[in-house]
């Protein structure tokens, strides 16, 4: 394994007020916290000393001073050293202790659609959608553990993503076409007319509110309708990232998870820490609570995994005559899921390697961006001041939080009104509440305080390169757009911008009397964007790398190639490439299965194929231009595979994308936006070689929809 950096200390290394940070081996970070030795050291990379002037070493020293020590920014190497709930004596609470068995089980559960079994037609649920979605439907590793789409759908949705001709991963999930139509006219852009209520809205006989309302006084009366059980599971905010869940005392945009149960909008009956609290809330919100356990108990794979993760509960189940309800239940499920969420971190970004002493980890532009990030905007310093709200290992805390490297002691200080508009799906709330003026007021829904109106939680900045949609409303579509928004300091929304809660950290970060915004130049905006977008990006979060300390968020080879990594699970029925239930990962609807290359749909009958031209350039080659028209009333999805069947022996399709398992060559057509709509056409050329002399070339075309190799 390659050694990245070595450290040599000059004579002034014992100067008071500095710390030593060393890197040993690829991505492995060792921090000697509390050593007050100099950061003005000579970090040597590949035998080349750091440059003088505005050098990487000097930038580390500057950041160290700004945040009170670089050790406060380091992500622990081992999962067991990530923040965990503790008892009064500061020891780890054994109920919530991080173990590898719990993490492994939690990751399986997170990505397994077997759990979404709570489909109740009496509340509008559609039985055909049972067990078709999972937590992974809206939290994908390829999308920074977010949905990657403006409108995020779990149960009732279909599709996962497609790739374009350049290999870009493009998330795509939409409402199923077989859901009942509820209205004639759309309420928001992209409204498929099948969604009644956002997931976290309940309608009672006497009140409307979040799921917490049913447990508050005055009694709201019986539950009449709920977005937790209607046909389409949709959330009226941008799906948040799961990265860094361990480093939070509140989760979800308004801080719903982790809030004490006695808060006006609190729903935490067991007093759980934030990760366990969010896991419980999501069991209820996403069609799993009280129904999933019976499903999981039927699988020998899960019975084995729960026994490994919860030995005490396994012993209790055995003592009760094999009562699996004591072992596999909602509480053990959420504890395992929360453990997985706690371990969702990135450890090997260029930023992490820079902190560990790799002088070449950040580009010159990214170092300029980092300098702006950690330079105050106020006092004429000329920086962006991002670090004041984005400090700690996950860059999600106030810099002066006494527990900035842990879950944090500050709560309300992490919520801000940035003058933002609502997510489009809030239009459903306005109708459900019969209030055309309804607004998503953020933190106020939880605390009941007017002083919290329009405030939303500070989020991690890691992995944003893949996030695609930003802020709680999802109305910004690039990191640069977000940076430019802060640079301008002008509220997007008039009502939120006029509220007394609007923070001057956004509008006047340079201080009272100064012009709005940060006042950065175009080049500075580019540098800051580069640092956030690329300097904080870890490719291993997306693609498995056995040499990286970062775990892949999606199920990867060590998780589900059981024949190699877990033969004990293979022996009890685990199927390679699938979660422990044997279902496809994340989603189990037909479009998702095609997106994953697990099955293909023959769409020959939905299309018309027309030979536009045929050019036989010489006796050995021919180019046929074929036009495919969608003649049906339904879209053709994903990739269009043109199978060329019946070719004479010796004739070759030169530009074939591949060959089917049965030996038929095919051409892959990448459809714009991943679909061929009714009436639309796609044109492509078939190039043939080694033709029979004097004989017209004859063949037939069959069309399949799907990705992968048929």
Total number of domains in the chain: 3
| Spatial contact of 149 and 185, defined as CB atoms under 8 Å apart | no
Contacts made by residues 268-271, CB under 8 angstroms, sequence distance 24+: 269/215
Q: Which helix (H) or strand (E) holds 672?
A: strand 665-676
Is 214 among the domain residues? yes
- Mutual orientation of helices 100-110 and 330-342 as an angle, nearest 10°? 100
Residue 206 belongs to a domain with what CATH number?
1.10.760.10
Is 382 among the domain residues? yes
d(CA 442, CA 473): 11
**Chain position carrying tokens 């390679």:** 576
Q: How far apart are the first and last CA of the chain?
A: 38
Beta bridge partners of 397: 391
Which of residues 315, 340, 365 is at a domain's end?
340
Q: Nearest 5°: phi and psi at 314?
A: -65, -40
Q: What pLDDT digit, counting tens, does each position of 518-553 carry? A: 999 999 999 999 999 999 999 999 999 999 999 999
d(CA 6, CA 466): 32
**Does 311 share its domain with 401?**
no
d(CA 470, CA 165): 26
pLDDT at 45: 35
Q: Quick one: which of 111, 428, 424 has its CA closest to 238?
A: 424
- The neighbour count for residue 169, using CB atoms within 10 Å, is 17
Beta bridge partners of 48: 45
d(CA 40, CA 246): 32
**Does 410 share its domain with 517?**
yes
Is 168 among the domain residues? yes
Q: Quick one: which of 239, 163, 174 has its CA closest to 200?
A: 239
Is 542 among the domain residues? no
d(CA 530, CA 351): 12
CA–CA–CA angle 150, 153, 159 (5° rounding): 95
d(CA 710, CA 708): 6
Q: Quick one: which of 95, 104, 97, 173 has its CA closest to 134?
A: 173
CA 416 to chain centre: 22
**Does 126 share its domain with 184?**
yes
DSSP 560-575: H-HHHH-HHHHTTT--
| Spatial contact of 158 and 589, defined as CB atoms under 8 Å apart | yes
**Does 280 share its domain with 410?**
no
Beta carbons within 8 Å of 573's beta carbon, 6+ residues apart: 299, 300, 301, 582
**Does 508 share its domain with 390?**
yes
Beta bridge partners of 290: none
**Does 74 share its domain with 103?**
no
Beta bridge partners of 257: 251
**Does 317 share its domain with 362?**
no
Ordered strands of the 621-630 beta sheet: 607-618, 621-630, 681-689, 652-653
**Does 285 share its domain with 138?**
yes
Which of residues 340, 366, 390 is at a domain's end?
340
d(CA 597, CA 189): 30
Q: Nearest 5°: phi and psi at 171?
A: -60, 140
Q: Nearest 5°: phi and psi at 223?
A: -75, 125
Is 405 among the domain residues? yes
Is 576 among the domain residues? no
Beta carbons within 8 Å of 552's beta carbon, 6+ residues apart: 141, 540, 541, 542, 543, 544, 545
d(CA 679, CA 260): 55
Strand positions, DSSP E, 93-242:
157-158, 161-163, 169-171, 174-175, 202-204, 208-209, 223-226
- The neighbour count for residue 51, using CB atoms within 10 Å, is 11
Strand positions, DSSP E, 100-172:
157-158, 161-163, 169-171
Low-confidence ranges of the chain (pLDDT < 70): 1-53
d(CA 446, CA 255): 7
Beta carbons within 8 Å of 198's beta carbon, 6+ residues apart: 227, 234, 235, 236, 425, 426, 428, 429, 432
d(CA 167, CA 455): 38
Encoding tokens for residue 136? Answer: 């992974």
Q: Is the bond preceding residue 335 a cis peptide, omega within 30 degrees?
A: no
**Does 202 share its domain with 119?**
yes
How many Cα atoms within 13 Å fall on the side-chain side of residue 512?
Answer: 0
d(CA 312, CA 659): 52
Q: Which domain holds residue 58?
A: 6-78+349-537
Can you give the length of the chain in residues? Answer: 710
| Spatial contact of 46 and 64, defined as CB atoms under 8 Å apart | no
| Spatial contact of 545 and 557, defined as CB atoms under 8 Å apart | no
**Does 61 share its domain with 172?**
no
Biggest CA pair distance of the chain: 90
Encoding tokens for residue 673? Answer: 């936006």
d(CA 376, CA 385): 4
Which of residues 317, 340, 363 is at a domain's end?
340
d(CA 99, CA 109): 15
**Does 69 share its domain with 107?**
no
pTM of the predicted protein model:
0.92
Checking DSSP bridges between strand 681-689 and strand 652-653, what pairing results, if any?
antiparallel
How many Cα atoms within 13 Å fall on the side-chain side of residue 531?
Answer: 23
Is 47 among the domain residues? yes
Q: Quick one: which of 478, 488, 473 has its CA closest to 420?
A: 473
Is 568 among the domain residues? no
Q: Quick one: which of 658, 655, 665 has its CA closest to 699?
A: 665
**Does 317 share its domain with 417?**
no
Beta bridge partners of 668: 641
Residue 679 belongs to a domain with what CATH number?
2.60.40.290
């Amino acid at each position: 394994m390659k050694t990245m950096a070595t450290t040599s200390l000059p004579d002034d290394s014992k100067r008071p007020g500095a710390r030593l940070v060393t890197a040993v081996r690829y991505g492995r970070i060792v921090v000697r916290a509390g050593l007050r030795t100099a950061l003005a050291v000579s970090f040597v990379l590949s035998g080349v000393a750091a440059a003088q002037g505005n050098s990487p070493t000097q930038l580390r020293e500057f950041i160290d001073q700004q945040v009170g020590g670089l050790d406060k920014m380091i992500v622990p190497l081992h999962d067991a050293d990530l923040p965990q709930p503790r008892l009064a004596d500061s020891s780890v609470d054994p109920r919530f202790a991080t173990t590898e068995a719990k993490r492994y089980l939690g990751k399986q559960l997170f990505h397994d659609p077997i759990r979404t079994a709570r489909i109740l037609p009496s509340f509008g649920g559609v039985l055909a959608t049972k067990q078709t979605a999972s937590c992974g439907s809206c939290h994908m590793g390829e999308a920074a553990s977010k949905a990657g789409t403006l409108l995020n759908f779990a149960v009732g949705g279909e599709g996962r993503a497609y790739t374009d001709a350049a290999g870009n991963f493009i998330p795509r999930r939409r409402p199923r076409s077989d859901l009942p139509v509820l209205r004639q006219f759309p309420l928001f852009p992209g409204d498929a007319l099948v969604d009644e209520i956002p997931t976290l809205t309940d309608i009672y006989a006497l009140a409307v509110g979040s799921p917490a309302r049913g447990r508050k006084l005055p009694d709201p009366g019986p539950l009449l309708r709920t977005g937790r059980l209607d046909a389409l599971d949709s959330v009226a905010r941008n799906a948040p990232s799961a990265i860094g869940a361990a480093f939070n005392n509140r989760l979800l945009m308004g801080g719903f998870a982790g809030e004490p149960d006695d808060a006006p909008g609190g729903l935490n009956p067991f007093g759980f820490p934030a990760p366990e609290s969010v896991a419980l809330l999501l069991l209820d919100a996403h069609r799993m609570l009280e129904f999933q356990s019976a499903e999981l108990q039927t699988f020998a794979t899960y019975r084995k995994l729960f026994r490994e993760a919860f030995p005490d509960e396994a012993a209790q189940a055995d003592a009760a005559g094999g009562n699996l309800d004591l072992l596999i239940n909602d509480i053990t499920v959420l504890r395992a899921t929360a453990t997985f969420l706690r371990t969702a971190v990135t450890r090997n970004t260029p930023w992490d390697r820079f902190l560990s002493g790799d002088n070449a980890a950040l580009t010159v532009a990214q170092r300029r961006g980092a300098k702006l990030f950690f330079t105050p905007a106020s006092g004429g310093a000329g920086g962006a001041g991002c670090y004041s709200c984005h400090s700690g290992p996950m860059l999600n805390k106030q810099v002066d939080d006494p527990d900035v490297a842990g879950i944090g002691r500050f709560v309300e200080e992490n919520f801000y009104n940035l003058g933002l508009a609502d997510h489009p799906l809030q239009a459903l709330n306005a109708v459900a509440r019969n209030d055309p003026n309804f607004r998503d007021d953020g933190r106020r829904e939880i605390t009941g305080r007017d002083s919290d109106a329009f405030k939303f939680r500070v989020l991690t900045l890691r992995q944003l390169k893949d996030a695609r949609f930003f802020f709680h409303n999802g109305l910004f579509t690039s990191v640069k757009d977000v940076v430019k928004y802060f640079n301008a300091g002008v509220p997007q929304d008039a009502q939120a911008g006029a509220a007394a809660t609007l923070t001057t950290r956004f509008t006047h970060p340079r201080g009272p009397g100064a012009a709005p915004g940060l006042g950065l130049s175009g080049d500075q905006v580019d540098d800051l964007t580069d640092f956030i977008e690329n300097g904080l990006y870890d490719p291993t979060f997306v693609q498995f790398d056995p040499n990286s300390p970062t775990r892949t968020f999606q199920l990867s080879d060590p998780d589900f190639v059981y024949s190699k990594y877990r033969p004990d699970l293979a022996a009890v029925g685990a199927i390679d490439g699938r979660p422990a239930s044997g279902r496809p990962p994340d989603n189990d609807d037909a479009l998702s299965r095609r997106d994953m290359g697990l099955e293909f749909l023959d769409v020959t009958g939905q299309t018309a194929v027309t030979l536009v031209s045929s050019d036989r350039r010489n006796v050995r080659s021919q180019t046929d231009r074929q036009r495919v028209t969608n003649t049906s009333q339904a879209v053709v999805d994903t990739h269009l595979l043109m199978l060329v069947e019946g070719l004479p022996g010796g004739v070759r399709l030169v530009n074939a994308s591949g060959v089917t398992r049965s030996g038929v060559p095919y051409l892959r057509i990448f459809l714009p936006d991943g679909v061929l709509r009714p009436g639309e056409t796609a044109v492509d050329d078939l190039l043939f070689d080694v033709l029979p002399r004097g004989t017209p070339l004859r063949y037939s075309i069959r069309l399949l929809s799907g990705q992968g190799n048929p």
